[in-house]
A and B are shown apart, each in its own frame.
Chain A
Amino acid sequence: MTPACTKTRELLDDALDGRLDAAARAELDRHVQACPACAAEWDLATSLRESLLKIGLEPAPAGLRESIAAEVRKTGGQKRRSPFGVARAAAAILVLASLAWFGLKSQKTGERPAPERAAPKGEVARDAAPPPPRGAAEKLERSDLARAPAGSAVAAPQRKISTVPGEKSWTVDIPAESDALGRARALVDSGAAGGDVDKFVEPGVTPEERLRQAEALVMLHENLRELTEAAGERKGLGQLAKDADGALEVFAERRRADKGLVAKEAEEAKNLKDALDEDARRKAELEVAEGKAAAQPSLSKVAPAPKPEGTRGRAAGDDAVPDEPAFFVVSGPGAVGRVERVLADRGLQAQEVWLKDRGDNLKKQKLDAQATAYRIVEVLVPADGWNDLIGDLESLPSLQLAPVGRTAGAAPAAPTGGGGAGGGATPPRMGGRGGASGKQAPESRTETALRAEAARPAPAPDRPKSLQIRRLRLVLIGD
């Protein structure tokens, strides 16, 4: 194939879709006329496109509309206050209370508020005044809601507000309104339009994420109470507080269910890892028994039987270098698809180890949530690409990457606590709030990854690094 053929093949689809300019199209036509192979390719492409268009889409079958209507009727219809009312109330609580809470926090700790987002085109803040001193806007909100008489108009610039610094934020465009309630509504609308509010009622977030949001809501609700009391139970805020109570009931119920699901996921991940290790150990034993172990390259060597506590890890002089997989949990919205794309971009192929869809369980528990699946995959990673891959996985926004089991703080040859007594494999929460790390200082994701790297058994010393392969197992939690 000539360079001209290669170029033609690359532009074939653009030509097919009419996306080539006249000069490029003329050049392509000239080549196609002169090159039988490319002409055949062009014929195939055009014929295929015509055929697919001709086949088109099937119309909906008769009765689909009626069966949807019947199912909709079974749900009892839309509740006017829920979920929309709940969403509005929850958003109002979060936005209002975050203003107050964050303002208070800034006052107490002197913590620097989240930096302002540069206003995008078309969303220019309406006042051109210089930015207020740090914390001023939040304090303004709180004092305004508490004391401003009805009818007073206060304009505030668009701001990015962090509920939890560095973690959750809303961008709100606060218009001038005639009273505090009106402003609250505007805040709700701004938040809803930004899409974040959807996360409270939309299916599609993981139980863990929902749990975190519910916890944030509970915390912020306390601040709303203070705010409401300070405002002397103004009419509008009083109604919002009632809405908040309703919202809290819903979220409290979800939180109970989600706590169970998150704990169950962690337990199942641990059980799975134990089962996989056990399988690998048996396989290794079998291979040794069959005299195959010595003949196998290091790639096929599997984890040996766990040694007694205190001796686990690669001891000097071991003939067979244990090639235990490093085990990570990646959780968060879209974890499965996004991690798969990272792997695909690096040319790595993930072998599915085990998969279970939990949609049925969710349905049984009557959670208004989208089915959440988790998937366990194994990837063979060239040693010289290991750090880059871990770095890529760490940098995926809104996903949590956590090593499991022995990698949690263990030195290569040291006894491993597995993150807790008894070798519990519950993945530590990385980069998130919630105090799951106990009294230990928070550990950054990078630090965790480096420790996980340090804890990996050394590969066979007789192979150059570019040829060494490491096994990485990922538990992907989330759609």
Chain B
Amino acid sequence: MRPRGGEVRPEGPEDDWALVRRVVDGGDLSAFDLLVQRYQDRIYGVISRLVADAELARDLSQESFLKAYKGLAGFSGGSSFYTWLYRIARNVVTSQQRYESARPKVSASLDVPPGERSSPLRLAAPAGGPDPVQSAVESERKRFLLQALAALQPEFREIIVLRDFEDRSYEEIAELLELPPGTVRSRLHRARMELRERLKPILVDPAT
């Protein structure tokens, strides 16, 4: 069985489809290992932004690859391997989020107590500042950005991760999320607006 025509395979010494066939037809574990090597950074990277917990992201990444391995025979080549793998990872994350949402939660607010907001965190780090200061500001800014991201609803979070963290095109996002491009555009717009609104009190100096 060959994949359907028109499918663009990733460049590389051996394309994904050939590796899949080696695993399915020949039980070649090393071929699957190559697929893991090829995609582990992307899968883990996205998952870690979606769940905001490194250890959990690691577990979910592992579970995603394991599910992919078990279901590899069902991969028909109708989409790229990464698209197929991403959708599995997405389901794994969604299941986890549902599980988590059933538990009692400790919520954290983005609101900074008034007394602590005397120095807004500007997006631009102070020019020419000493490295430790700059580093601390960068670190704190990153923490707030990720915290705001985590506070978005999952659909918004996912599209921000794909577009603004991973720099995927609208067309790629549409394929991954199985959405029309117009929906990608509108959802991204709403997601960004919400993210900006959440960050305004922290990142924008009230004096400006």
Write the residues of chain A forming the contact surface with B, with a CB cutoff of 8 angstroms: 9-10, 13-14, 16-17, 19, 40-41, 44-45, 47-53, 55-61, 64-65, 67-69, 71-73, 75, 77-78, 80, 83-84, 87, 188-189, 192-195, 197-198, 201-204, 336-337, 352, 355-357, 359, 368, 370-371, 373, 375, 479
Chain B residues near A13 (CB, 8 Å)? Answer: 185, 188-189, 192
Are A71 and B62 closer than 8 Å at their CB atoms?
Answer: yes
Write the residues of chain B forming the contact surface with A, with a CB cutoff of 8 angstroms: 1, 3-4, 23-25, 27, 29, 32-33, 36-37, 40-46, 48-49, 54, 57-58, 61-62, 65-67, 69-74, 76-78, 91, 94-95, 98-99, 101-102, 123-124, 141-142, 145-146, 160-161, 163-167, 170, 185, 188-189, 192-193, 195-196, 199-200, 203-204, 208
**A56-B33 in contact given A68-B66, A83-B73 (Cβ < 8 Å):** no
Are B95 and A371 closer than 8 Å at their CB atoms?
Answer: yes
If A69-B33, A202-B71, A203-B91 are given as contacts, then 7 extra A-B residue pairs at C-beta distance below 8 Å, sorted by A number, are A45-B192, A57-B166, A75-B69, A80-B27, A83-B74, A352-B101, A371-B95
Chain B residues near A55 (CB, 8 Å)? Answer: 142, 145-146, 165
Question: Chain A nearest CB: distance from B156 CB in Å?
Answer: 12
Question: Chain A nearest CB: distance from B1 CB in Å?
Answer: 5
Contact of A47 among B32, B58, B124 (CB under 8 A): B124
Chain B residues near A56 (CB, 8 Å)? Answer: 45, 165-166
Cα-based distance from A202 to B145 in the complex (angstroms): 37
Cα-based distance from A389 to B44 in the complex (angstroms): 39
Question: Chain B nearest CB: distance from A477 CB in Å?
Answer: 13
**Closest residue to B39 on the A side, CB-wise?**
A60
Question: Chain B nearest CB: distance from A181 CB in Å?
Answer: 15
Are A72 and B165 closer than 8 Å at their CB atoms?
Answer: no
Question: Chain B nearest CB: distance from A332 CB in Å?
Answer: 15
Question: Chain A nearest CB: distance from B150 CB in Å?
Answer: 13
Enumerate 20 A-B pairs (CB-CB under 8 Å) in ascending A order: A17-B170, A19-B185, A47-B203, A48-B164, A51-B145, A53-B164, A56-B45, A56-B166, A57-B44, A59-B44, A60-B40, A68-B62, A69-B33, A72-B66, A75-B66, A87-B74, A352-B101, A355-B98, A359-B95, A479-B95
Question: Chain A nearest CB: distance from B157 CB in Å?
Answer: 12
Number of A-B residue pairs at CB separation under 8 A: 185
Chain A residues near B23 (CB, 8 Å)? Answer: 78
Interface of B is mostly: helix
Are B145 and A201 closer than 8 Å at their CB atoms?
Answer: no
Cα-based distance from A16 to B33 in the complex (angstroms): 38
Chain A residues near B141 (CB, 8 Å)? Answer: 51
Chain B residues near A47 (CB, 8 Å)? Answer: 123-124, 203
Are B1 and A189 closer than 8 Å at their CB atoms?
Answer: yes
What are the 4 A-B residue pairs with the smallest beta carbon separation, nearest first? A57-B45, A84-B73, A47-B123, A60-B44
Are A60 and B41 closer than 8 Å at their CB atoms?
Answer: yes
Are B74 and A64 closer than 8 Å at their CB atoms?
Answer: no
**Closest residue to B101 on the A side, CB-wise?**
A355
Are A52 and B76 closer than 8 Å at their CB atoms?
Answer: no
Are A203 and B67 closer than 8 Å at their CB atoms?
Answer: yes
Are A64 and B58 closer than 8 Å at their CB atoms?
Answer: yes
**Closest residue to A16 on the B side, CB-wise?**
B192
Chain B residues near A49 (CB, 8 Å)? Answer: 164
**Closest residue to A196 on the B side, CB-wise?**
B76
**A57-B48 in contact given A49-B164, A189-B1, A375-B98 (Cβ < 8 Å):** yes
**Closest residue to B205 on the A side, CB-wise?**
A40
Are A53 and B165 closer than 8 Å at their CB atoms?
Answer: yes
Chain B residues near A77 (CB, 8 Å)? Answer: 27, 29
Are A65 and B165 closer than 8 Å at their CB atoms?
Answer: no
Question: Chain B nearest CB: distance from A454 CB in Å?
Answer: 34
Chain B residues near A14 (CB, 8 Å)? Answer: 185
